[in-house]
Amino acid sequence: MILAILVFNNHGKPRLVRFYQHFPEEIQQQIVRETFHLVLKRDDNICNFLESGSLIGGSDYKLIYRHYATLYFVFCVDSSESELGILDLIQVFVETLDKCFENVCELDLIFHMDKVHFILQEVVMGGMVLETNMNEIVAQMEAQNRLEKSEGGLSAAPARAVSAVKNINLPEIPRNINIGDLNIKVPNLSQFV
Amino acid sequence: MSDIVEKTLTALPGLFLQNQPVGGAVAARAPFCSRLGSLVRGITALTSKHEEEKLIQQELSNLKVTVSAPTTTLKVMKECMVRLLYCEMLGYDASFGHIHAIKLAQQGNLLEKRVGYLAVSLFLHENHELLLLLVNTVVKDLQSTNLIEVCMALTVVSQIFPREMIPAVLPLIEDKLQHSKEIIRRKAVLALYKFLLIAPNQVQHIHIKFRKALCDRDVGVMAASLHIYYRMIKENAPAYKDLTGSFVTILKQVVGGKLPVDFNYHSVPAPWLQIQLLRILGLLGKDDQRTSELMYDVLDESLRRAELNHNVTYAILFECVHTVYSIYPKSELLEKAAKCIGKFVLSPKINLKYLGLKALTYVIQQDPTLALQHQMTIIECLDHPDPIIKREVKPQAYKSVNIFEDYMLVKEKHSITLPHAVLGTVLKASCMGVRVPPAVPHPGPVLGEYSYLLGKDTAEEVITKLYKLLLSDSVSSETKAWLFAAVTKLTSQAHSSNIVERLIQEFTVSLDTCMRQHAFELKHLLEDVELMRNLLPVDKSCEDMVVDASLSFLDGFVAEELSKGAAPYKPHHQRQEEKLSQEKVLNFEPYGLSFSSSGFAGRQSPAGVSLGSDISGNSAEMGLKETNSLKLEGVKKLWGKEGYLPKKENKTGDETEAPPNPQEAITMENVDQIVTKKDQSQVLTQSKEEKEKQLLASSLFVGLGSESSINLLGKADTASHKFRRKSKAKETKSRETTSAQDMPCSSLGSSSSVTYEEDYYLDNLQGRVDTDLEKFSLNSELLDSDTLKEHPLVEELSNCSLSTPSLFADSNMEVFHPPESIAASIDNEPSLASSLLEEATEHMYSDLTEVCNNETISVSAYKIWKDDCLLIVWSVSSKSGVDLENANLEIVPAENFKITEQPGCCLPEGEAESTKNFQYSVHMEKPCTEGNLSGFVNYQMMNTHSAQLEFSVNLSLLDFIRPLKISTEDFGKLWLSFANDVKQNVKMSESQAALSSALKTLQQKIRFHVVDVIGNEGLLACQLLPSIPCLLHFRVHADIVALWFRSSCSTLPDYLLYQCQKMIEES
């Protein structure tokens, strides 16, 4: 079982904290700090597993981490999880974030904290691995995302319907809308909500 | 699964928002974002924790007002909630918002509800009283017809739910096990798992439903139910023995590839599922022969099937080994599994080594003899040929009982080479008795430290054994030192000291100063047993010692001595320098010592000395050296370090003679430049004969150069340049004569590349007279010949250049063409469009860069961007005459890449001792922006020990992109047939003429083929090897380039866009 998933940056600032077992708030903070110090002093060329700190429960639990640019992704797991399996799960999680955010960076994790949590919920649920297929996770997120768009854009629908009709016979128009365009359109949409 | 929401949403106009990335919603939530943004920015700008606290407290009090205001809409509430989450994550109390989170989950629409649920599950814990308020919401949502609401409710239940309220939702969740949607069934199973954890007795009656879930038609649901079974079997294995057959069948199907490909992860079928099943089997088969017999087959199959092409295969293999050693033993399987461990411990990947060691502990528990074979492998893979490091051994290495920690320490700090026989015996002893040492390559100290744990042998007996080892001739002095240390340690525990005294007698007269020192130390210690006991306590090595490294306790002594007129201490290098400077009076060295700053030592040829003086810009020092070494003025220099030195050096001699005042002597470099300017015309007349000599000389002396020379400002390898160029020219010539090329004569293509080379040469090797000549002749040849592109040519080039790899390896000089600058000089062409349609077709290759080295060998690599693949050549060269014949290079299988060895590459005869090449072709299997290839070199040391050196090379997507040469019509057809597209506007800096520079950038740096240029629009095409096409349509408007990619691959356009954007913005 996964006990906790912690993401913090190179300075130890937490970017995602998710506990699957209850710890009092202040202990959670201490765990984040302790984990950060445990992980920080490790070179990049030594292995990605270590015993978890005393606060979580010592040697029965392991910290499995990966370091990506400015962020550390740390999974705290008990002995029922496979180290390499978790290592790849972290990879899946990060790759999924990357897909969902398009070149994910630390800022995405800060400004879309809720979204990161939602993505995580599709990967790990209640401390158990729910889904490891990246495409499925992304599909789930896209489905939820569509929901968001549609809720946000109900009143904008007529305008879109018009453009839909216009574009129906033009195969060269891209099916998805590029970000550049979106940035212009979306503020208008939100006014209608 | 992705269709679940689609049905719910059919009424909604989501049609045009497919594939919308999450990040796309940035602007939609701009007001919130900017507020959170300013908060974050505020926090990061702060310097002290105190200020941060103040800021957050202020933010929290603002939030408090907002959330409790009755006018606050749910939408605002949702935003506030995320900010509260952020504050709580940083460790600030936001408990006033908890109730609002519950309210949001209760009253909000889907989006708000989702945030509400999330906030609840992050804020609260199972026993929180507020949680009861959530129960009704959950019940309502579980009954909802909206799948998303059901999903959310199930998620929150599996994260957090009050134990006493389980009965309220249990029937609803049980119903969900029959739901038509797989994701709902799956989440329901995990919710039930949660109940099993917190209230096992409440779910006892539904065990039959768990079985149904196990047999679910959907693999995902079955996989979820395995969590439950793992848990239950762990607690009570006998009750589930009857399921063994089912688990075995499932595993067989998974291993046999019966699952849909969706479940593959890096072409491994459902790895996480396999891991889970193997773990369950391990629990079921423990101490149970009959049950175990059911699984032998599938375990055997798993071991056999595991093709090690990805990390995750190792994960499965490891579980497999674990299971084999957990269940009732079958010797055949045990052996196979033990063999597999070799793959772990021999891997250069540290994680795998760790797991290998972990697996070894299982093996040791079962059958130590099986582990023994790997003892040696571990020692071998831990061998670190660094003698300085060896000295640093500290007993603290054994501080931790955790094998891994030991290993890491050992790995980082030191290692030792011991004769295998000694190791075998010692390690056997140590690993039987003590758990600590198996991975520790220092049996000497370990034995000294922990041999008392063995129980069997008394200290005396161990000392006797060690004594025999010490006297044996086959043991190296290094090892003897270790063994002696062990004896010293043991002496403090021993009762009689006869043997020790004999030992001391033997070694106080030893020729080895180190041993003599040890012996004297021991002798003195023996005279004071009390002191020895204190100094060498039993099992205290784990305690830290405080050492005053600055030796401050000696300060008094030093001050006293200085006041008495003693000379102050000088560090070693200072003493040496002074010694050398005093030696200028009389020099008996035939050629003088070279003590240049770049640190090459030993005797040098005259040219070596003079070149050495080149690099020391200090004229005074140079003058000094001039007087020390041979007078070179007026001597015709024919042989330099880089081989035969023709006219140029001769000229140099003349030049240095020429100035009337010797004080004004200029450095060689300057002279060279002058010479070049002056004599360019003259050199052109250099005879053919001279060139031949040059060639011969350089080929004769390249080996020598690689051994002893240091690149001086990138000059020393001119010879190899000449050599290479020469052969290139020859090759071109022969090609010309032997085969009539059917390619159309594209003088433009070749001339552009020649022009480039010219530039390149002028930049890098300015002033090289002979090079100039070479270049001229080459140019004429090239302009006649039609193409340079053929790949044998490149191979030829690589072969030639590889004959002197260490020359390049030592310096970072760019010897080969940097890929970016190929096909330069397009600006010069009159017609832009036409010039772009012609492509420089020469193979490109990177410069040779050193990827790793140690004092014995150095490994360099370069890439050749061939038309059909990326070829990486690793060149291993020895620095100290180590025989590389048995050197072996292995590349670790990497994610996304397919690597195949190309045996074809071989060196010219006679060069092989100092250099060995390995050639691999690499394909990108799945598009990714970057990757990393790692591997290791195994080689034999002089003393028959093998050693290992690890390295890695970075790969980029662009390494695998090649021009796709298609016509405009084909482009049109392909364009319409491709489904995946990406569009982006990129701004260019005004300084460039937009279209030309963009086209140039794309053609050169990304290697697009320019299909057509019409007005301000361009059509370009490229392919990701082996054959994933990607088309680019781009249009320039003012300083904006609109890039529009289409491809048959969904991810490639994104990655290419990223690269293009980078390139264009950089250029």
Which residues are bridge partners to A17 per DSSP? A6
Contact A187/B27, CB-based, under 8 Å? yes
CA angle B221, B227, B230 (to 5 degrees): 135
Q: Please give the pLDDT value at position B111.
A: 86
> Among residues B84, B76, B86, which one has the least CA distance to residue B108?
B76
Alpha-carbon distance B349 to B630, whole Å? 52
- Does the model's pTM come out above 0.80? no
| Residues of B whose CB is below 8 A from A178 | 982-984
Size of interface A-B (CB pairs under 8 A): 249
| Residues of B whose CB is below 8 A from A90 | none
Facing B30 at nearest CB: one of A84, A177, A187:
A187
Contact B5/A20, CB-based, under 8 Å? no
Parts of chain A with a pLDDT under 50 = 152-193
Alpha-carbon distance B185 to B170, whole Å? 14
Q: Which residues are CB-contacts of B772 (< 8 A; sequence separation ≥ 6)?
A: B676, B680, B683, B684
Q: Please give the pLDDT value at position B247.
A: 93
Find how far residue A117's CA is from the centre of its chain. 6
Q: Please give the pLDDT value at position B156.
A: 92
Amino acid making up residue B635 = V
> Mapping DSSP to helix (H, G, I), strand (E, B) and coil, where does residue B897 land?
strand
> Tokens in use for B432?
């039987």
User: Whats the size of chain A, residue-wise?
Assistant: 193
> Among residues A71, A80, A127, which one has the least CA distance to residue A104?
A71
Q: Please give the pLDDT value at position B251.
A: 92
Contact A88/B351, CB-based, under 8 Å? no
Pair B1013, B999: CB distance under 8 Å: yes
Mutant choice from B89, B985, B1033 vs A, greatest count of A C-beta within 10 A? B89
Contact A46/B408, CB-based, under 8 Å? yes
Alpha-carbon distance A113 to A17, whole Å? 10
CA angle B215, B221, B222 (to 5 degrees): 40
Find, in chain B, the residue whose alpha carbon is nearest to that of A134.
B265
Alpha carbon separation from B450 to B8, B434, B462, B536 (Å, rounded): 69, 8, 11, 12
Find how far residue B703's CA is from the centre of its chain. 31
Contact A125/B187, CB-based, under 8 Å? yes
Q: Which residue reads 């699957």 in tokens?
A: A20
Handedness of CA B634, B635, B639, B642 (dihedral sign): negative
Alpha-carbon distance B314 to B340, whole Å? 10
Alpha-carbon distance B358 to B314, whole Å? 13
Give the DSSP H/E element, type plus range, for residue B940: strand B930-940
Q: Please give the pLDDT value at position B791.
A: 40
CA angle A74, A79, A80 (to 5 degrees): 100
Pair B842, B754: CB distance under 8 Å: no
> Among residues B166, B90, B97, B159, which one has the least CA distance to residue B125?
B159
Give the DSSP H/E element, type plus range, for residue B1009: strand B1009-1014
How close B1049 comes to chain A (CA, Å)? 14
Pair B124, B133: CB distance under 8 Å: no
Give the DSSP H/E element, type plus range, for residue B934: strand B930-940
Find, in chain A, the residue whose alpha carbon is nearest to that of B124.
A22
| Residues of A whose CB is below 8 A from B224 | 128, 130
Pair B61, B53: CB distance under 8 Å: no
Q: Which residues are CB-contacts of B110 (< 8 A; sequence separation ≥ 6)?
A: A147, A151, B146, B148, B149
Mean pLDDT by 10-residue block, N- to C-terminus, for chain B (1067 residues)?
36 33 38 61 68 85 87 86 88 88 88 90 87 90 89 91 89 91 91 89 85 88 92 90 92 89 86 93 91 90 78 88 90 86 78 79 73 60 37 29 37 34 36 34 45 52 73 66 74 72 79 79 78 65 52 73 74 67 49 40 38 38 41 48 46 42 43 44 48 44 33 34 39 41 38 40 41 40 39 39 36 38 38 38 68 79 80 79 72 79 53 70 80 80 71 82 85 80 75 70 81 83 84 80 83 82 74
Q: Which residue reads 């006297």 in tokens?
A: B471
| Residues of A whose CB is below 8 A from B311 | 84, 87-88
For B542-631, strand residue ranges (E) read none
Q: Please give the pLDDT value at position B798.
A: 39
Alpha-carbon distance B853 to B951, whole Å? 9
Alpha-carbon distance B328 to B3, whole Å? 46
Q: Please give the pLDDT value at position A16.
A: 92
Contact B982/A174, CB-based, under 8 Å? yes
> Among residues B201, B424, B11, B24, which one has the least CA distance to residue A182?
B24
Amino acid making up residue B331 = S
Contact B18/A147, CB-based, under 8 Å? no
> Tokens in use for B50?
């105190």
Rg (CA), chain B: 37
Q: Is B979 in the A-facing interface, judged by CB distances under 8 Å?
A: yes
Contact A176/B1054, CB-based, under 8 Å? no
Give the DSSP H/E element, type plus range, for residue B79: helix B74-89
Contact B159/A190, CB-based, under 8 Å? no
Q: How many CB atoms neighbour CB A123 within 10 A?
A: 23
> Among residues B1005, B927, B1003, which one has the least CA distance to residue B965?
B1003
First to last CA, chain A: 41
Find, in chain A, the residue whose alpha carbon is nearest to that of B358.
A83
Contact A113/B193, CB-based, under 8 Å? no
Q: Please give the pLDDT value at position B278.
A: 93
Alpha-carbon distance B772 to B18, whole Å? 61
Q: Which residue reads 């006033």 in tokens?
A: B96
User: Three-state SS across B463-497?
Assistant: HHHHHHHHHCCCCCHHHHHHHHHHHHHHHCCCCCC
Handedness of CA A4, A9, A11, A17 (dihedral sign): negative
Contact B40/A48, CB-based, under 8 Å? no
> Tokens in use for A44?
């990049």
Alpha-carbon distance B952 to B933, whole Å? 5
Q: What are phi and psi of A8, to 5 degrees?
A: -140, 160
How close B27 comes to chain A (CA, Å)? 6
Q: Is B311 in the A-facing interface, judged by CB distances under 8 Å?
A: yes
Alpha carbon separation from B690 to B286, B687, B699, B765, B964 (Å, rounded): 81, 5, 14, 20, 45
Pair B842, B753: CB distance under 8 Å: yes
Alpha carbon separation from B218 to B222, B263, B272, B750 (Å, rounded): 6, 11, 16, 60
User: Is the ipTM above a cut-off of 0.95?
Assistant: no
Facing B318 at nearest CB: one of A84, A149, A152:
A84
Q: Please give the pLDDT value at position B777.
A: 40
Rg (CA), chain A: 20
Give the DSSP H/E element, type plus range, for residue B981: strand B980-987
> Among residues B852, B940, B936, B853, which one has the least CA distance to residue B346?
B936
Ordered DSSP codes for chain A: -EEEEEEEETT--EEEEEESS---HHHHHHHHHHHHHHHHTS-TTS-SEEEPPTTTTGGGSEEEEEEETTEEEEEEE-TTS-HHHHHHHHHHHHHHHHHHHTS--HHHHHHTHHHHHHHHHHHEETTEE----HHHHHHHHHHHHHHHHHHHTGGGHHHHHHHHHHHTT-TTS-SSPPHHHHHHHHHHHHHH-
Alpha-carbon distance B451 to B438, whole Å? 13
Facing B2 at nearest CB: one of A101, A140, A187:
A140
Q: Quick one: DSSP state of residue B1006?
A: I
> Tokens in use for A155?
């009143």
